[in-house]
Chain A
Amino acid sequence: MELPVIWANYISIGLFLALGVGVWSIPKSAVVPEEYAGETWRDLRWWATGLILFQIALYTFFR
């Protein structure tokens, strides 16, 4: 059976959610050097989270 095109959006959103889980499985010490430990903006996992949420919004809107 052929899946409707809308499933491409659902699969994309699922992939981005899985990526988000993967990002937060990386320990903070591997992302932020010790000398920057107190600076939240240097934690690239938050940058990645923002990007992922924005992508989910795009694939929710353009369907």
Chain B
Amino acid sequence: MHPIDLAVVVAYVALITFVGIRFAQRVKTAKDFFLAGRSLTWWVIGLSIIGTNVDTNGYIGASGNAYSIGIAQANFEWIGAIPAMIIAALIFIPLYWRAGVYSIPEYLGLRYNQAVRVVAAGIVVTVSVFAMGVAMWALAITLQTFIGWPIWLGILVSGTVVGLYSVAGGLGAVAVTDSIQVCIMFLCGLIIVGIGISDAGGSASFVAKLTAENPTHLQAYLPSDHESYPWHGVILGLGLVLSPAYWVGGQAILQRTLGAKTQWDASAGMMFAAVAKTFVPVLIVFPGLLALVMMAEIEYPDMALPWVIKNVLPVGVSGLMFVAIIAALQSSIDSSINSTALIITRDIRHVLMKNHNPESDLKIGRILTLTLLLSAMCIAPYIGNLGGIFNFLQSLLSLFQGPMLALLLLGAMTKRATGTAGIITLVSGVLLAGILSWVVELNMLYVAFFTFCYAVPALWIISGFTKPHSDDHLRNLTYSPWANSNANKPSAV
């Protein structure tokens, strides 16, 4: 690595650490630690959501995919995100905010029962621990590729930097550092677009060179017999189930909206994130297309982005781009750790330990954050040996998303769904997803869609035979803007 690039990396690490530790001085209570004392403004929330969302798979994997399949990769950022983000901003976030909850499992516990809360919390924690290990491993691989550091050193250094601000500063530090990281990511993306199009001889020349060899690379959808992304599966599985489940039920994503200053800031934060999300393909899809246009000689598609950094970007900018990749990974790790610590502290510990002391939540939260970080650092070196880990993580997610979305959707939009029906539907839906995934060996996009199609009628029918909550109990837990709008203060928490 060139000394100028190295200086850029060191300056970035120093800036992030300084900002994070500054925030640590503001943390006095568990609410400060987990919800930033409900002080976050809409633009910080929006940038932080994007920082949390664009992760390992998003950066290096998406560029590789774009190299292989073209602009169709952008469906994950467009139809696979924007509609769900709009629905989350206008319907679900106001609902969670008014309910005054810290987490999505807590909302499910209030809306259904404590069994649903604990099972949902268990699911979130399981997926998060795997995701953290994967992100930490990818970060170490990135450091090894670019600087030549051994894996253990990469994990130790990156874990220490993330730990310094997320253990000390909680959600406030995480959200502000995420915002800085996203600004760096977009700056690098724009520089790559500028240099790439200029090197290709202008935008018309870029498009001509791209489509000459790859005529379908500028088509948004792939044929229905495509192995990984058939268009039916993308619309039904990704657009209608996986994406809404992620954006209306993803704890790491929604936690920063629950830390908003007002309900409007919470919703506007998600809407601003949707605006930024629309342009994320510039960061993660364009480099893959650029590698094609520049006739990159690479062994496999995931090398597209590293090739662009090495061969297209000038000194200094390549250091900044390297920082952007580290930032994408760090902002996902810190968010996962903070939200997982919250769920263990409140949704598992508070429910299972009847004599817990809420005053100790801050201390417990910090200890858990540190423990989770150390666990991820210990798991990370072994993740590489599992092979196909990203696909495994995606499959694991698709097991839960269908039933979880059904519970959130019917729970929020109707008063009919009952606690007993909720737990039966959640457990049976996950079992069905397991059978469809591992026995029938169905594409994960279809698994999500079919389990959702099972869970909605199952929840509706079983609820007819079981006792519902009273209307009074459900007042702040179901969405009815025509009857009760404009409650701009959360319930007591």
Binding site for B on A (CB under 8 A): 2-3, 5, 8-9, 11-12, 15-16, 19, 23, 26-27, 29-34, 36, 42, 44-45, 47-48, 50-52, 54-55, 58-59, 62-63
Contact residues in A for B258 (Cβ distance below 8 Å): none
Q: Is B218 an interface residue (CB 8 A)?
A: yes
Q: Is B71 an interface residue (CB 8 A)?
A: yes
Contact residues in B for A3 (Cβ distance below 8 Å): 224
Chain B positions 98-143 with a Cβ under 8 Å from a chain A Cβ: none
Contact residues in B for A16 (Cβ distance below 8 Å): 83
Q: Do residues B86 and A48 form an inter-chain contact, with CB atoms below 8 A?
A: yes
Return the chain B residue nearest A49 by Cβ: B86
Q: How far is the CB of A11 from chain B (nearest CB, A)?
A: 6
Q: Do residues B264 and A42 form an inter-chain contact, with CB atoms below 8 A?
A: yes
Q: Do residues B271 and A62 form an inter-chain contact, with CB atoms below 8 A?
A: no
Contact residues in A for B219 (Cβ distance below 8 Å): 5, 62-63
Q: Is B462 an interface residue (CB 8 A)?
A: no
Number of chain B interface residues as a range: 35 or more
Known contacts A19-B83, A30-B94; decide if A51 and B485 are in contact (CB<8 Å). no
Q: Do residues A27 and B267 form an inter-chain contact, with CB atoms below 8 A?
A: no
Q: Which of the 9-residue segments B231-239, B368-376, B401-409, B421-429 touches chain A? A: B231-239
User: A8's contact among B91, B94, B220, B264, by CB below 8 Å, is which?
Assistant: B220
Q: How far is the CB of B102 from chain A (nearest CB, A)?
A: 22
- In the complex, per-residue mask of B265-278: 1 if CB is within 8 Å of any chain A CB, else 0: 00110011011001
Q: Do residues A33 and B262 form an inter-chain contact, with CB atoms below 8 A?
A: yes
Q: Do residues A19 and B90 form an inter-chain contact, with CB atoms below 8 A?
A: no
Chain B positions 216-248 with a Cβ under 8 Å from a chain A Cβ: 218-224, 231-232, 234-235, 239
Q: How far is the CB of B203 from chain A (nearest CB, A)?
A: 13
Known contacts A44-B268, A48-B90; decide if A62 and B220 are in contact (CB<8 Å). yes
User: B481's contact among A9, A26, A55, by CB below 8 Å, is which?
Assistant: A26
Q: Do residues B86 and A5 form an inter-chain contact, with CB atoms below 8 A?
A: no
Q: Do residues A19 and B86 form an inter-chain contact, with CB atoms below 8 A?
A: yes
Q: Do residues A27 and B482 form an inter-chain contact, with CB atoms below 8 A?
A: yes
Q: How far is the CA of A59 from the CA of B235 in the complex (A)?
A: 13
Q: Is B430 an interface residue (CB 8 A)?
A: no
Q: Do residues A55 and B78 form an inter-chain contact, with CB atoms below 8 A?
A: yes
Q: Do residues B86 and A23 form an inter-chain contact, with CB atoms below 8 A?
A: yes
Q: How far is the CB of A24 from chain B (nearest CB, A)?
A: 11
User: B278's contact among A19, A29, A45, A55, by CB below 8 Å, is which?
Assistant: A55
Q: Do residues B481 and A12 form an inter-chain contact, with CB atoms below 8 A?
A: no
Q: How far is the CA of A52 from the CA of B224 in the complex (A)?
A: 25
Contact residues in B for A59 (Cβ distance below 8 Å): 78-79, 220
Known contacts A8-B234, A26-B481, A55-B82; decide if A33 and B486 are in contact (CB<8 Å). yes
Q: How far is the CA of A27 from the CA of B274 in the complex (A)?
A: 21
